[in-house]
Chain A
Amino acid sequence: MSALNRNILALREMSADEIQLILDQAQEMKEILSRPIKKVPTLRGKSVVTLFFENSTRTRMSFEMAAKTLSADVTGFAASTSSVAKGESLKDTILTLNAMKADAFVIRHSASGAAHFIARHTSARVINAGDGTHEHPTQGLLDMLTIRQHKGTLRGLTVAIVGDIAHSRVARSNVWGLTKMGAKVRLVGPRTLLPADVEQLPVEVHTNLRRGISGCDVVNVLRIQMERQDAGLFPSVREYAQTFGVNRSVLREAKPDVLVMHPGPMNRGIEITPDVADGEFSVVTEQVTNGVAVRMALLYLLLGGSNDASGH
Chain B
Amino acid sequence: MAKTESVQVMDGDEIRRAITRIAHEIIERNHGADGLVFVGIQKKGVPLARRIRDAVQTIEGDELPLGTLDISLYRDDYDSRTAELVPTDIPCSLTGKTVVLVDDVLFTGRSVRSALEALIDFGRPAAIQLAVLVDRGHRELPVRADYVGKNLPTSRREEVLVMLGDDPSADRVVIQKPAGGQGGK
Residues of A whose CB lies within 8 Å of any CB of B are 1-4, 21, 24-25, 28-29, 31-32, 35-37, 39-42, 70, 300-301, 303-306, 308-312
Chain B: CB-nearest residue to A41: B74
List of A residues within 8 angstroms of B76 by Cβ: 306
List of B residues within 8 angstroms of A40 by Cβ: 73-74, 118, 121
B87 touches A1 (CB 8 A): no
List of A residues within 8 angstroms of B86 by Cβ: 28
Chain B: CB-nearest residue to A303: B80
The reply to whether the CB of B182 lies closer than 8 angstroms to some CB of chain A is: no
List of B residues within 8 angstroms of A300 by Cβ: 73, 80, 85
Complex CA distance for A214 and B51, rounded to whole angstroms: 51
Determine which residue in B82, B118, B123 has the highest number of CB atoms from chain A within 10 A of its CB, and name it.
B82
Question: Within the complex, what minimum Cβ distance (angstroms) separates B16 from chain A?
Answer: 32
A29-B85, A36-B123, A304-B83 known; A42 and B73 CB under 8 Å?
A: yes
- What per-residue 1/0 map shows which CB atoms of B75-103 lie under 8 Å from chain A? 01111111111111100010000000000
Determine which residue in B85, B87, B121 has the highest number of CB atoms from chain A within 10 A of its CB, and name it.
B85
List of A residues within 8 angstroms of B121 by Cβ: 35-37, 39-40
List of A residues within 8 angstroms of B77 by Cβ: 306, 308-310
B79 touches A28 (CB 8 A): no
Closest 10 CB pairs of A and B: A304-B80, A28-B85, A40-B73, A37-B121, A3-B80, A42-B73, A309-B79, A305-B79, A3-B81, A2-B80
Residues of chain B in range 104-128 having any CB-CB distance to chain A below 8 Å: 117-118, 121-123
List of A residues within 8 angstroms of B84 by Cβ: 3, 21, 24-25
Chain A: CB-nearest residue to B121: A37
The reply to whether the CB of B135 lies closer than 8 angstroms to some CB of chain A is: no
Chain B: CB-nearest residue to A301: B80
A305 touches B80 (CB 8 A): yes
Q: Could you name 17 residue pairs across A and B whose Cβ atoms are closer than 8 Å?
A: A4-B80, A25-B85, A31-B87, A32-B88, A36-B122, A37-B121, A40-B73, A41-B74, A42-B73, A42-B74, A300-B85, A301-B80, A305-B78, A305-B80, A306-B77, A309-B79, A310-B77
Complex CA distance for A31 and B69, rounded to whole angstroms: 11
Question: Within the complex, what minimum Cβ distance (angstroms) separates B100 from chain A?
Answer: 20
Residues of B whose CB lies within 8 Å of any CB of A are 70, 72-74, 76-89, 93, 117-118, 121-123
- Tell me what chain B mostly uses at the interface: helix, strand, loop, or mixed: loop
B123 touches A2 (CB 8 A): no
A31-B87, A35-B122, A36-B122 known; A2 and B79 CB under 8 Å?
A: yes
Determine which residue in B70, B73, B88 has the highest number of CB atoms from chain A within 10 A of its CB, and name it.
B73
A41 touches B81 (CB 8 A): no
Chain B: CB-nearest residue to A39: B121
A28 touches B70 (CB 8 A): yes
A311 touches B79 (CB 8 A): yes
A1 touches B81 (CB 8 A): yes
A2-B81, A42-B74, A311-B79 known; A31 and B88 CB under 8 Å?
A: yes
Complex CA distance for A311 and B83, rounded to whole angstroms: 11
Question: Within the complex, what minimum Cβ distance (angstroms) separates A175 from chain B?
Answer: 28
A306 touches B122 (CB 8 A): no
Question: Within the complex, what minimum Cβ distance (angstroms) separates B58 from chain A?
Answer: 30
Determine which residue in B72, B74, B86, B93 has the highest number of CB atoms from chain A within 10 A of its CB, and name it.
B72
List of B residues within 8 angstroms of A310 by Cβ: 77
Determine which residue in A1, A303, A304 has the highest number of CB atoms from chain B within 10 A of its CB, and name it.
A304
Complex CA distance for A308 and B76, rounded to whole angstroms: 10
